[in-house]
Chains A and B, each alone.
Chain A
Amino acid sequence: MSAITTLTRRPRGRIGDRLLHAYTWLIIVWLSSPIAVMILFGFNDKKSKSNTSWQGFTLRWYQELFDISDLTTALKNSLTVAVASTIVTVVIGTMLGLALGRHRFRGRGVTNFLVFAAISTPELVMGASLLSLFVSANLPRDAVTIIIAHVLFSLSFVTVTVRARVITLDPSLEEAARDLGATGWGTFRQVTLPAVMPGVLAGAMLAFALSIDDYVVTSFVNGSTITFPLWIIGSVKTGIPPQVNVMGTLIFGIGVLIAIANAVAARRSSRST
Chain B
Amino acid sequence: MKRLTPYLLALPSWMWLAVFLVVPMAAMASVSLQTGNAIDGFAMTFSFSNYTDALGRYSTQLVRSLWYGGLATVAMLVIGYPVAYWIAFKGGSRKSVYLFLLLLPFFVSFVLRTISWGFLLADDGVVFGTLKGWGLLPADFHVLATTVAVVGGLTYNFLPFMILPIYVALERVDPRVVEAAYDLYASRMAAFRRVVLPLSLPGVFAGVLMTFVPATADPVNAQVLGGTGNTMIGNIIQTEYLVNLNYPTASALSFTLMAVLLVGIFIYARALGTENVLEAAAR
Q: Which residues of A are interface residues toward B (Cβ below 8 A)?
A: 8-11, 13, 16-17, 20-21, 23-24, 27-28, 30-35, 37-38, 41, 52-54, 91-93, 95-96, 98-100, 102-105, 107, 111, 114-115, 117-118, 120-126, 128-133, 135-137, 148-149, 151-152, 155, 159, 184, 209, 212-213, 215-216, 219-220, 228-229, 232-233, 236, 240, 244, 248, 251-252, 255-256, 259, 263
Partner of A96, one of B10, B90, B187: B10
> Please, which residues of chain B bring their CB within 8 A of the CB of A125?
217, 254, 257-258
Q: In whole angstroms, how far apart are the Cα atoms of A54 and B234 in the complex? A: 34
Name which of B53-61, B121-129, B266-274 contacts chain A: B121-129
* B82 with A20: CB separation less than 8 A: yes
Given contact pairs A21-B90, A52-B119, enumerate 6 new A-B contacts (beta carbons under 8 Å): A31-B105, A37-B120, A120-B213, A122-B257, A128-B28, A232-B111
Q: In whole angstroms, how far apart are the Cα atoms of A236 and B119 in the complex? A: 11
Chain A nearest CB, measured from B42 CB (Å): 8
Q: In whole angstroms, how far apart are the Cα atoms of A212 and B182 in the complex? A: 49
* B17 with A114: CB separation less than 8 A: yes
Main secondary structure of the interface of B (DSSP, over half): helix
What are 22 A-B residue pairs whose CB atoms fall within 8 Å in the complex? A8-B183, A21-B86, A27-B102, A32-B105, A34-B116, A35-B104, A52-B124, A54-B126, A95-B10, A103-B9, A111-B10, A111-B14, A114-B22, A120-B213, A125-B258, A132-B31, A159-B13, A213-B109, A236-B224, A251-B107, A251-B109, A259-B107
Main secondary structure of the interface of A (DSSP, over half): helix
Which A residue's beta carbon lies closest to that of B4? A105
* A133 with B101: CB separation less than 8 A: no
Q: B83: CB under 8 A from chain A?
A: yes
Give how many B residues have a beta carbon under 8 Å from the other chain's beta carbons. Answer: 85
> Please, which residues of chain B bring their CB within 8 A of the CB of A96?
9-10, 12-13
Name which of B134-142, B196-204, B235-243, B275-283 contacts chain A: B235-243
Q: B87: CB under 8 A from chain A?
A: yes
> Please, which residues of chain A bring their CB within 8 A of the CB of B108?
34-35, 38, 248, 251-252
Partner of A128, one of B12, B160, B183, B254: B254
Specify which of A41, A122, A159, A215 lies most central, judged by the most chain B CB atoms within 10 Å of its CB.
A122
List B95-114 residues whose CB lies under 8 Å from chain A: 96, 98, 100-102, 104-113
Chain A nearest CB, measured from B198 CB (Å): 19
Chain A nearest CB, measured from B82 CB (Å): 6
Q: In whole angstroms, how far apart are the Cα atoms of A31 and B107 in the complex? A: 12
Q: Which residues of B are interface residues toward A (Cβ below 8 A)?
A: 2, 5-7, 9-10, 12-14, 16-17, 20-25, 27-28, 30-31, 79-80, 82-83, 85-87, 90, 96, 98, 100-102, 104-113, 115-117, 119-120, 122, 124-126, 129, 156, 159-160, 182-183, 185, 187-188, 191, 209, 213-214, 216-220, 223-224, 234, 237-238, 241-242, 247, 250-251, 254, 257-258, 261
